[in-house]
A and B are shown apart, each in its own frame.
Chain A
């Protein structure tokens, strides 16, 4: 304990000195603000009401429709609250999550929200005993539950969601003298988390403070702090970056020490951009800066350590809190300066430096959350001075280039589609209307592939690459060349009249080798409407004449039609 106090004191001195040096050399934190052409902050909105209590430790996220959810610890300190704002609407009054039916908090720190492909908000907040998980969609919360731990839970944890909608949390669990990073997964349709898995399995080292992100291949990238033992160095705190297959197997590459070694690094952040490049960031107390490092898995290239150059917040205790998020191929970080002012920075890969985007807060900040929206970064933060409140600052950024999915439209023989068959690129999540258009003499029957049903017009939502196929069937055709011979069998006083109907097989049916099982003869008066067709007989498929004896009046002029029935009982049109 004594040693820890000395170390913390020493660290504080170093950090303060570094911060003062930075301040002396570059003025106030955020010296790059002059590079900002205009204030990109759209708005700062206070999410919590005026209160004598303290709201803390927020997280925020936005779904694909622009609906936003924020969660934060309530003023009583043992429950998490939420407020929700539908796109274009107003924020709701804070309410206890799940009506208060949640594990009671002892102590909290980080909170996360990630949104899956179905626009479900997956939320995690920390308790001293375990992370608590719940999800929210369409105004309904699942019952919050503690994430299953094996050892003693050690703040901090992190949550992310894979492209396949698997929820992944990582935390630090202590078993005896061993601190390890454990992963917990919950499949898309699973009700709970599977058994925890020990990712680090390094009994000789103390691994803690994990952060996680996923790449497009569902691989999990984890950055964590590890007490790496080196000869002659009493305490060597470095940041590891490693990746793991979706089934938790170690990735093919060794873990990378991204921070300076030896060094004192804390509270790493990690994010993966749209190019699957990985950015890790951490608080480097020895240099009094937030540091970062870009890693390109494709080329296995590890970039230089790059400082955020805003100093490190160390007062009143070592609150090296920062948050990082990928926005398309860009990386953004929200980090507090030594004055506890919150800044949003963007990484310039070409120059390999961080550029200040905006000063998010004009007051001291304690904790923040950063989320990448479509065309804005959402920064939820709570003020430092008590009573603390929750604020949401939105910062305008370049819109994301929407990811795209492929829609392949195919047809069976006998028809086409609108759009025409082919492969099209559409924004992910977009909806495309496809209509099946049967040619003559075909009828649309069904959709197969990633669509089903027998309605000709469907709407395909491209949450993934999809293939739809329109199927048609030959529409058996009626007989042709129908001829009617009007005959009379008469005596002197009476007569009976009848018509001899003859026809020919439809050559289209012959060409399709359709078996005609039966034929139906329909009749109406020439002057009647088509709705008046009446079936008068059914004959075999090979019969080509019919004697209609039931002609009651010689003065009536009948016309005839002959439909064909195929082996499946499908009847052709007949007029």
Chain B
């Protein structure tokens, strides 16, 4: 718990520190005129769930997800980065075979540190994960749907490949740690809902 708190502080420092510095430092403005400050793109990634119960119930260990992301250069080699993607899956209820839909909306906010070497810009980053999840059962049933939210952290590593001055690609790997304790244990008798995941993706981004 203590280490998780420390990680939160560190992440906040990484994100907020460069952002504040970007607005405060005239040098950053000068540099920004040389390099594009913003990146906006979409990605396609392999998304791997951590929660074995989710995997067992919905039957998928991994799904490919599209998503959107954007970042802004702040100070030195720091970017503030955000992304959104949605994970959906479905299964059938155990007796009446009703459709059970699961949706996980994931929003990420974090900081990246890039090594500006020209064509290749490796980076590492960390930040927060804001998740909203829901389960809906279609059809007449006494079985109740569920919705909720969870907050967690991520760390990521990857590299930008600057194709042109205005276009870049990106490969990355991200590790999310998002979990919550359910008020009522779910039918597998587990009270911990692990929404954490591993993401491996490729992104195409516009730079400006």
Chain A: residues with CB nearer than 8 A to chain B?
487-496, 549, 554
Contacts and interface: CB of A to CB of B under 8 A. Distances in A.
Nearest to B97: A489
B93 A491 contact: yes
A549 B94 contact: no
Contacts of A488: 94-95, 187
Contact of B142 (A487, A492, A493, A549): A549
A428 to B, nearest CB: 75
Contact of B137 (A487, A491, A549): A491
A549 B186 CA distance: 19
B164 to A, nearest CB: 45
B187 A494 contact: yes
B143 A492 contact: no
Q: Which 10 pairs across A and B sit closest by C-beta, in order of nearness?
A: A493-B146, A495-B187, A489-B95, A491-B100, A490-B94, A492-B57, A490-B187, A493-B186, A494-B144, A493-B135
Contact of A494 (B53, B102, B146): B146
Given A489-B141, A549-B142, A494 B94 contact: no
A496 B100 contact: no
15 contacts: A488-B94, A488-B95, A490-B94, A491-B143, A492-B53, A492-B57, A492-B58, A492-B91, A492-B100, A492-B102, A492-B146, A493-B187, A494-B146, A495-B186, A496-B143
A494 B186 contact: yes
A491 B95 contact: no
A487 B142 CA distance: 14
A549 to B, nearest CB: 7
Contact of B186 (A489, A492, A496): A492
Contact of A489 (B54, B96, B135): B96
A554 B185 CA distance: 12
Interface in B138-184: 141-146, 182
B67 to A, nearest CB: 23
A494 B142 CA distance: 10
Interface in B117-142: 135, 137, 141-142
Interface centre among B53, B58, B91, B93 (most CB of A within 10 A): B93
Interface residues of B, number: 22
B78 to A, nearest CB: 39
A488 B187 CA distance: 10
Contacts of A491: 93, 100, 135, 137, 143, 145-146, 187
Given A489-B143, A490-B143, A491-B146, 16 more contacts: A488-B187, A489-B94, A489-B141, A490-B94, A490-B187, A491-B100, A491-B145, A492-B57, A492-B186, A493-B135, A493-B145, A494-B145, A494-B186, A495-B143, A549-B142, A554-B187
Contacts of B146: 491-494
Nearest to A497: B187
A535 B141 CA distance: 25
Interface in B53-80: 53-54, 57-58
A487 B187 CA distance: 13
A549 B143 CA distance: 11
Contacts of A487: 95
Interface in B95-126: 95-96, 100, 102
A40 to B, nearest CB: 96
A491 B92 CA distance: 8
Interface centre among A493, A494, A549, A554 (most CB of B within 10 A): A493
A489 B141 CA distance: 9
Contacts of A554: 187
Contacts of B95: 487-490
A54 to B, nearest CB: 104
Nearest to A493: B146
A525 B95 CA distance: 23
Contacts of B135: 491-494
B54 A492 contact: yes
Contacts of B91: 492
Contacts of B144: 494
Contacts of B57: 492
Contacts of B53: 492
Nearest to B141: A489
Contacts of A549: 142
Nearest to A498: B95
Nearest to A488: B94
Contacts of A495: 94, 143, 186-187
Contacts of A494: 135, 143-146, 186-187
Interface centre among A488, A495, A554 (most CB of B within 10 A): A495
A93 to B, nearest CB: 89
A268 B135 CA distance: 116
A562 B89 CA distance: 43
B30 to A, nearest CB: 53
A488 B100 CA distance: 15
Nearest to A491: B100
A494 B93 CA distance: 10
Nearest to A489: B95
Contacts of A496: 141-143
A498 to B, nearest CB: 8
Contacts of B100: 491-492
A210 B53 CA distance: 115
A490 B58 CA distance: 12
A385 to B, nearest CB: 110
Contacts of A489: 93-96, 141-143
Contacts of A490: 93-95, 143, 187
A545 to B, nearest CB: 15
A491 B143 CA distance: 7
Contacts of B141: 489, 496
Nearest to B148: A493
Contacts of B58: 492
A412 B200 CA distance: 87
Contacts of A493: 135, 145-146, 182, 186-187
A494 B147 CA distance: 11
A458 B94 CA distance: 62
A549 B141 CA distance: 12
Nearest to B147: A493
A486 to B, nearest CB: 11
A512 B143 CA distance: 45
Contacts of B54: 492
A489 B98 CA distance: 9
Contacts of B187: 488, 490-495, 554
A499 to B, nearest CB: 12
A544 to B, nearest CB: 20
Interface centre among B53, B91, B94 (most CB of A within 10 A): B94
